[in-house]
Structure 1
Amino acid sequence: MEGILFVVRTGIPWNDLPTTAFGASGATCWRRLKEWHAAGVWQRLHESLLAELRAAGLLDLAHAVVDSSHLRALKGGITPVPARSTGAGS
């Protein structure tokens, strides 16, 4: 779990995960992530966390922003189209 969270938080490639620091290789962590996702582990973890926050009165979705664009697309994804300028005089 720590290895997966480290890769997601830092954005390093899976193969660069230091095995000695986490007790598992990047490939093992990636495989666990894939298996746990397929088994619904992440969804249940997310729902449990939201329930605990809600019960403690610490969940205010009025100020929530959901954006996963910081995660790299598998196989590179599609090539993005350059953004057009919206500034004055463009």
Structure 2
Amino acid sequence: MRTGCAWSALPASFGVSTATAHRWFNEWVEADVFARLPPDDAGSAGSAGAIDSSRASVDGMQVRVVKGT
């Protein structure tokens, strides 16, 4: 388990180096790009009652992480 983005874990198929991905992310944060994205459609539709959640399921998993491993 790690905190934050593991830039070194980006797959080669991502198409850019980890340094480039990190630089673009920082530029987008500074330009407030993420705040200007439209709201999540599923979240908006769900709160508007447009999604039938009677057949939805939630899956979760908890794993104890031993410090130092």
With normalisation by structure 2, the TM-score equals 0.48
Relative contact order: is structure 1 or structure 2 higher (C-alpha 8 Å, sep ≥ 6)? Answer: 2
Between Structure 1 and Structure 2, the one with more helix by share is 1
> TM-score under structure 1 normalisation?
0.39
